């Protein structure tokens, strides 16, 4: 039995990340605060910085937004992932991100921040946003059949591109 009351009762979007400005948590929270079309669950380090603390204080009173402290139990994180309707990936710096690839392996539909490396990782087959308005509209118009197809595409990409055998082979070729 889950320790999270929203699992199995409501549709929700899910994200797990460091609560930092470059991960655009403020954009995601602003989008979801505009209406209860879908619950939002974010796992992160809410006490880490003033940015995170301010967001937690501002949005923790919104009934359909659930801001969870870090979870280190992999089975609990997996339960949260497998029951979500869509995975949100707000990272705007870096490159191929492990949390994005993990979500892809789970076959989750993904809405990612619209930057070139997120598009490259997902081969342009995810949903993309830059503003809270764009994300709000994506979530509001989310069609279950289309989301299922995105999830299927994400899993296919992950299984084709992000395997230890392939990565080891590419490093061997490089050297």
As a whole number of Å, the end-to-end CA separation of the chain is 49
- CB within 8 Å of 66: residues ≥ 6 apart: 4, 6, 12, 39, 40, 41, 42
Structural tokens at position 126: 């995810």
Contact 41, 6 (CB under 8 A): yes
Q: Dump the DSSP string for 43-74.
A: ES-TTSSHHHHHHHHHHTT-TTEEEEPP---H
2 inside domain: no
- CB within 8 Å of 172: residues ≥ 6 apart: none
Each of the 175 residues of the chain gets a pLDDT tens digit; together they read: 456 766 665 589 999 999 999 999 999 999 999 987 789 999 999 999 999 999 999 999 999 999 999 999 999 998 899 889 999 999 999 878 889 999 999 999 999 999 999 999 999 999 999 999 999 999 988 888 999 999 999 999 999 998 888 888 888 988 8
Contact 131, 27 (CB under 8 A): yes
163 inside domain: yes
Counting the structural domains of the chain, the total is 1
5 inside domain: no
7 inside domain: no
4 inside domain: no
69 inside domain: yes
119 inside domain: yes
Find, among 69, 68, 67, 49, the residue nearest to 58 by Cα: 67
Find, among 28, 17, 91, 25, the residue nearest to 54 by Cα: 25
Domain of 113 in residue numbering reads as 12-174
167 inside domain: yes
What is the pLDDT, as a whole number, of residue 105? 95
| CATH number of the structural domain spanning residue 121 | 3.40.50.2000
């Amino acid at each position: 039995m889950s320790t999270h009351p929203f699992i199995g009762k409501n549709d929700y979007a899910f994200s797990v990340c460091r609560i930092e400005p470059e991960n655009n948590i403020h954009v995601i929270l602003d989008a979801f605060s505009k209406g209860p079309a879908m619950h939002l669950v974010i796992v992160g380090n809410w006490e880490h910085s003033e940015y995170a603390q301010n967001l937690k204080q501002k949005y923790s009173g919104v009934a359909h937004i659930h801001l969870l402290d870090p979870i280190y139990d992999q089975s609990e994180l997996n339960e949260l992932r497998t029951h979500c309707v869509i995975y949100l990936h707000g990272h705007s710096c870096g490159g191929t991100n492990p949390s994005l690839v993990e979500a892809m392996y789970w076959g989750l539909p993904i809405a990612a921040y619209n930057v070139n490396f997120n598009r490259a990782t997902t081969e342009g087959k995810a949903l993309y946003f830059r503003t809270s308005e764009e994300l709000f509209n994506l979530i509001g118009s989310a069609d279950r059949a289309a989301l299922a197809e995105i999830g299927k595409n994400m899993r296919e990409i992950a299984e084709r591109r992000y395997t230890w055998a392939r990565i080891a082979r590419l490093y061997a070729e490089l050297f």
